[in-house]
Every structure is written in C-alpha cells, then in structure tokens.
Structure 1
Amino acid sequence: MNTTRRAFVAVSAAVLASIAMPAFAQVASTLDRIKQDKQLRIGVTSAEPWFFKDPMTEKWTGVGVAMGEKLAANLGATLVPVETTWANAVAALQANQIDLMFVLDPTEERRKAIDFPEAPLFYYAMGALVSGDSQAKSWEDIDKAGTRIGVTLGTSLDKNITAMVKNAEINRFSNNDEAIAAFASKRVDVVVQFHPALVVQYSRLKLGKVILPTLVNPVPTSAGLRKEANPAFRDWVSEQFASFYKQGVPDQIFGAYLKSKNIDPTGIPGLVKEAWK
C-alpha cells in the first residue's frame, strides 16, 4: 500500500513538472513579442528635443522617436508611440503598456523597479546659455560677482549650481520657460540647463549662444525597459545602442532635428561626448 502511494505521488509530481517546466521555459521575452506582433511601443511625452507632438497633425517627432524608428526598422516592426509622462513611465513599463522609454537616466532608484541596457543611449551635459559676445569658457568665468544665473528650482542643476557658485547671484524659476524669459528680458545673464534643452530654447529665442563650460561632466542617459527573466531584449537593445553610438547616430539624429527647427547644428555640442570640444 505504501509502495503504491509513493508511486502515485512520484508519478503525479512528474506529470506536474512536465506541464509546468515547459510552460516556464516557453515564456516569451519582449523581443519575441515584438517580432511576433511587429510593433515596438515607446513612451512619449512633451519634451523637446526628445519628443514633440505636432498640434496640427498630432504626429510625434524628436530624437527619442527617431531612435525608436531605427530600432523598430531593425526588428521589422512598426513604431507605436504611447503617450505617458516622466512620472508614470516606470509604472507604464511595469504594466506592459510600453516596451521602452527613451532618455530615462539609469538612477539607482529606477534600477530597483526597471531594467536598463548596459550601453548608454548618448550623453548630455550641464550647459549654459550666454550672451552672443560672451567670452566665458569655464564655470569659473561665469562665477563672477555681478553675474546673474537663472536655473530651474528644485532640479539637479539647481543643486549643482548651488554647490559650484561662490560669487555669482543665483535666480531660481519655477520652470525652464520662465528662466529663458528672464534671459530674454535681461533679468539674468546666464541660464543653466542640460545642453540639448538649451539648444531648443535657443531656437525659439534666437538670442545668445549655447556653450559647455569646462570642466564638462558628461551625463549618460539610457532607455528604461521591463525587468524580465529572459534578458534577450535588454541585451539586444544594448547592442543596438553601442552600435549606434559608435557610428555617431545620436549626433546625426540630433542634428537632423535641429535642422527641422531651422537651426544650423554647426558648432552646437551634440550627443556624442568624444566630439565635444
């Protein structure tokens, strides 16, 4: 009787294992799903130069969109923009609403919730919008008594400038546009933001020039994706990013976007740090 019971238990366990194990092994990765559905879903939000929605056509463009189109093409898929916000992007990834969110910095806090490819997407730096005749080359040149610096309140840039500046006056604004408006009305002499955003602001303002004051500290940005047991999608995206960066694709895309806004990219710092001067 005991032998029969033991045999029954053993057979039952074997049957369950034969059912469960293949099911686990066959769990499709995001890469498999994209190849099957022929759709790559990326998060998009209003934030030039990364994402821009034309109010007339409702078509999305921008650096992040162009990068997504390249990835989709390499997968034989169609790019599908899904509107979200920076604050909701991580939750959207976790809920499988999107596959990627471009220009998401891989902070330690975010790494606890989502995954990131090993290779960076590109780099940006803390830049400064200064007057057209300014001779400033370094942060020391900017940190002079009588110089008024505009920065957005509560940002990492606010924290950095507060720690760096000893002599100049810091003026804090509730958002980037207010800081730029203060520059236009000559209430501040310098505006500090990450340099690609400054370039777009400059395109609207047509005043001053954008510089990367030394010492330049490159900040890598990336794209967030879901945590998965199968790393196939993460590894594929990382390989793509590394290849794009080596070929200078981020600069090519950024330059093309600037031209679409009637900005000559000549002399404007791009997204490949090795080309910065």
Structure 2
Amino acid sequence: MIPVKSKEEIEIIKESADILGRAHGEVAKAVKPGVSTKALDKIAEEFIKDHQGHPSFLGYSGFPASLCISVNENVVHGIPGEYVLKDGDLVSIDCGVFYKGYHSDCAYSYAVGEVSEELKRLIRVTRQSLYEGIQAAVAGHRIGDIGYAVQSFVEKEGYSVVRELVGHGVGKNLHEKPEVPNYGKRGRGAKLKPGYVLAVEPMVNQGGRSIVQEADGWTIRTADRLPSAHFEHTIAITEEGEAEILTTHQYIEDYLKEQYGETIIH
C-alpha cells in the first residue's frame, strides 16, 4: 500500500524540507579543499538539531553520521571521516531531516575547487536528469515514466544510471513504498496519485553502471572506479499536474552564485 499524504502532512514535510535546505546551505559554505568530510557532517548535525529537527540518517540501521558524503568514485552512503577534500574532487552530499514526525530527503553534488570539464559535465547532466524525472512525475503517469525519463536522458548523454539503488516514498518513515527506479519503461509500474510523496534521486556514473559495496558495509562505489554524481529532491504528486518540489537547492545555489558568480556546473 502506497501512503497518500494529506495537504496538512505535506505542509509538515515542507517545514522539514526547509530545515534540510538551510542545513545544506550551511554545509555548502564549507565545501572546499582542505575541509574534512567529518567537519561537514558536524555542521549539518548541529544546524538540524539547533532547529528542532533530527538528522534522518543518524542511527538509521546503525548508520553513524548525519550526512552521507560520497567522493569521486563513491556513489552513495559514504561515511564522513578523516578524508580531506582536495582540488578536483566531486563530492555528493545527501541529508535527511525528521521534524514533527515526518522526513524529508535531498542530495547535491559539488565540484570542489578547480575540476575537469568532464566532471562538470557529469554533474550538470545528473542535475538535469533529476528535473527530467520530476517533469514526468504527474498524476495518472506511472513510476516507470519517471525512470524512463531519467534513463533516456542520461544514456543519450553517454552516461549510465545505477540500477540497484532507487528513489523511494518519504513520510513518517524515511523509506516508504513505492520504489522509484532511475530506469524503466513508460506506462509500467504503480500509477501516480495526488498525495504521493516521493524522493527522486538519480545516481549517474561516468563509466559503466556496475557498483560494489566497500568493506565498511555502507559505501557504494563504481566497479570501474570512475566518478559518479547524485542529486535528489523530495516531491509531492499534485492534482494540478506538475509535481511540487518540497525540498530546495536554493540555499546551496545562492551561496555558490554569490561566491563564484555561478553554481559551477552551469
């Protein structure tokens, strides 16, 4: 059974998502060469707790941190630690907030310092694939339409989508039904209904789509060790047609524009 959220529930998720967006914005200010991933995690955890939220990932199935931080060939679920960001890195930062009984979930990938044009393109394509998927998330469409939109866009650009890891419903639980793959066929899967709240999260590899799990039991990396990027929004299916994006990258991108004159990936 896929949970249908009331308008009141969606409003609470938006409140959670605002805390999350602002936490991401604070982390964005510290994403630069010479900063450890553990330091980024501390910024997020303190901000979320200071705003009466709880980091959704902290303690989730034993996960030891508030952020998943995945660098270069790491796709998702990287554990923050002593690694120090360096010039040329690609870093994906995923975070969730639990507030007033509801979760929100959002991710962003950054170019650290001066990066190659190849990495910038990977980031740009992955970001756009997120919006391609969201555009297909219309009441009456099906889950497969979202995956098809992401996959067809990504593969046309010469990249591959990870298949073993998927988006998901979001609400009282961090992961709810339905699963939202980043690949699929149009017209397949559950029909989208107003009130569904979904995390759409393309994970896009520069090389092949195969992945492996590291010995820490969490970190997922590309099998060929080529870079991977990850973007995510929590959205609500509406009666009006277009999905409503509940999370925001605005605080991140406002800072990047202020600092660099662009979001780096444009």
Check whether TM > 0.5: no
Structure richer in strand, relative to its length: 2
